[in-house]
Structure 1
């Protein structure tokens, strides 16, 4: 099973339902795309790529764009080649993106036509005779690097959306550049889904290649855990370079639900974002970092996000330290029934590894003592162990967390 097959199954059942909504929040009506159009646009892109690309060895295609109505179709189009997509954030430092593209040995990259000038000007290591051809709002660029090394200082790799780094974490499915010899199987045709880099906060960023088989259990488990239906609206809160975006996109599009996308600039405007999410589009499932939630401020959280009448059924917080229970209690309006989850994971084990639903009695408790919120239970296909200093699994006491899939 692949990510694109999950979406195709949903499209067969819900072809006329809204798959994607893009709201620029500029007093213009939102743009909608149904499932039929989603898969049609993706198939056209796949055909274009097969005609214009000479795929040999690893099939990875870069994607350089901002969020928009066609974003999910572009990702699906790459996956259906079949190839893996490697997202490049136009706002990332060119030094970091250049390092990533070179270390991945990217041969082709799809660039949003609106951003082609920015792309060309940002990467002066590209050969001047670079080949390009256009298709439906995209420019396919064949990368030709000048004869330079991919050099990056450790401090260049920091990014806004960090996950706590666990040393000695293990993964039997993913392939990072530091452990490629044991992971060659992920480079087989039909196997690889996407390629990302870690934050680089503890050294140079690592390239992580994720097979479909590693990320699909996340998607399938969250669909069940959050009880996703075609009536749900999920928000694309994460940038493509942050692997929870894969969960947000495919939990929605494999369920017949709708995926709401807004420009990055709107995410920085709390009042505007709250109105778009909970008044205009009635978002029901939100996966976010605590930083994004705190950006609303306690008043907006209580009056909109976690109000008694909110549309939000599920709030899943991860990627950073979970908020204190005292803060959560203060943020919730009396009568709020939103289910709140603590989710935890690292990029090397395909996004999320554990989940814990905060019990209602804990949220409603009047005790002033702030107990730590546990990591909870392993997600489908994930192995979690705590080991002592000698590497032996333990049931109690202090140790180091090992994650695997």
Structure 2
């Protein structure tokens, strides 16, 4: 019976023991080897104190070792918490403390970088080195080496008494107060989506699925678990490859990728700089995109270059997985047209409520989008207030107390009953596929003692979704400098949240009610583009 996400691996290992499970830079691991390695890691984690429900950090680039780490942690009964390998030290410190992470899985290079910045009061007690047999540096922490894992004589996964309501992973997303929010996803939440996606998109044992998204980004859930469920092969796209579109195009063809899943901005770069006329991609049968709006003019070019593939727009959030889908068959004649986000996936309930608390059901009606079902997350780790604001009583449940996720997205319906995304209600935007809370950027910049006032806006960009621009009013002209503020941001924000543009002003425009006139700032910025 499959009710935990690691059961997917065990079942496929039984069916396809010698099939390649994961490929990375010419190296590979079979299903039998992945099952055995993750069992050894799981038993080692139990031996060093990891138990049911414990949060275990993963701090390393996405490689074969990181996939072993994921399955080893959940087999041990733990909850994996991926931390971006390029995360600023203070963001990493927050996640470690917020989640109470006592065990951290990493690699030698990353731990070496931590030696001088590791927080003194960190809750981490043990670091498991997935690639080294000797401790690193002078950190006052116990190290568990790769040799100890390999010497484990336990070939079977440990018995943990885990149930499907237990947390499988926690993914941190942008938060309005300057600190990220940890989205709690249970095994049930994850499997609801994974089972649907594998079956609906017909992922089979002969597929080779590209895994481009980082582990802390929810698109990685499909890449890994739906692929493993099918007994297919995960082909990890090395970090940074997408910034070299021609190299990415060569990799897709060389690795005979059959299924691609990423944010549209990666595909836009592929269209504009990947020299697609040189390639045929004969094996590529399915292109999935999610996370942001795909400009029609670039999607049209992609379809022209790869006409034999099926294209799907997926919509969702970390808090509820991908809940709607739309198969792209006919593109709008107008490049300014919208690709619908579609209809609810099987076993998902999606509805929109208008300002009069009625469910919208006619084209042109506008409402707030809600998602209900077993895919909806448990809430935000250690943040009851934000959980209560986003995970609300289901408006359609007649007082039963069931929770639905209020996405914060405004949508309408087209003539065929497909939802069309219009805008966000709050201050959150998408850039390069990442959710960015503009308030978090403002909160971080405001911490600088030389900053008197700050306002952040998003400028629409057809390639990356939005460019982030900040307006800063310093206490003293010329201090801080832009370089100083960029360094300040780099210490507290991940790279994708560092503003693209900084503009210093003597004052910010205000509305008649005394608020910063953000609409005027946006209008002025568009004129200057």
Class of the TM-score when normalised by the shorter of the 2 chains: 0.7 to 0.9
Secondary structure, counterpart of 1:82 in structure 2:
coil
For the residues of structure 1 that align with 2:269 and 2:28, how far apart are their CA atoms?
27
For the residues of structure 2 that align with 1:125 and 1:76, how far apart are their CA atoms?
29
Deviation per CA, 1:116-146, whole angstroms, max 9, x where unpaired?
A: 11133332334699555656648999x999x
Structure 1 residue runs without a partner (length 5+): 24-29, 146-186
> Which residue, out of 355, 359, 369, partners 2:325?
355
Contact 1:353/1:382 (<8 A) preserved = yes
> Which residue, out of 361, 367, 375, partners 1:395?
361
Contact 1:195/1:208 (<8 A) preserved = yes
Contact 1:112/1:138 (<8 A) preserved = no
Structure 2 residue runs without a partner (length 5+): 142-161, 374-529
Secondary structure, counterpart of 1:380 in structure 2:
coil
128 and 205 in structure 1: CA distance in 2 versus 1, 3 angstrom threshold: closer
Aligned pairs for 1:231-310 (under 5 A) are: 231-278=206-253, 280-298=254-272, 300=274, 302-303=276-277, 309-310=281-282
Aligned pairs for 1:117-132 (under 5 A) are: 117-126=112-121, 131-132=126-127
46 and 342 in structure 1: CA distance in 2 versus 1, 3 angstrom threshold: same
Which residue in the other structure is 1:154 paired with?
A: none
Contact 2:353/2:368 (<8 A) preserved = yes
Which residue in the other structure is 2:289 paired with?
A: 317
The structural deviation recorded for 1:193 is: 0.6
Contact 2:102/2:123 (<8 A) preserved = no
For the residues of structure 2 that align with 1:196 and 1:32, how far apart are their CA atoms?
26
Q: CA RMSD in A?
A: 2.8
The structural deviation recorded for 1:55 is: 3.4
Secondary structure, counterpart of 2:369 in structure 1:
strand
132 and 311 in structure 1: CA distance in 2 versus 1, 3 angstrom threshold: closer
Which residue in the other structure is 1:332 paired with?
A: 303
Using CA pairs below 8 Å that are at least 6 residues apart, which structure has the higher relative contact order? 1
Secondary structure, counterpart of 1:386 in structure 2:
strand
How many corresponding residue pairs? 347
TM-score normalised by structure 1 residue count: 0.78
Contact 1:45/1:135 (<8 A) preserved = no
The structural deviation recorded for 1:313 is: 0.7
Contact 2:280/2:306 (<8 A) preserved = yes
The structural deviation recorded for 1:10 is: 1.1
Secondary structure, counterpart of 2:224 in structure 1:
helix
The structural deviation recorded for 1:391 is: 2.7
Which residue in the other structure is 1:342 paired with?
A: 313
Asked which structure has the greater CA Rg, the reply is: 2
Moved more, 260-269 or 6-15: 260-269
For the residues of structure 2 that align with 1:189 and 1:403, how far apart are their CA atoms?
20
Which residue in the other structure is 1:214 paired with?
A: 189
The structural deviation recorded for 1:335 is: 7.0
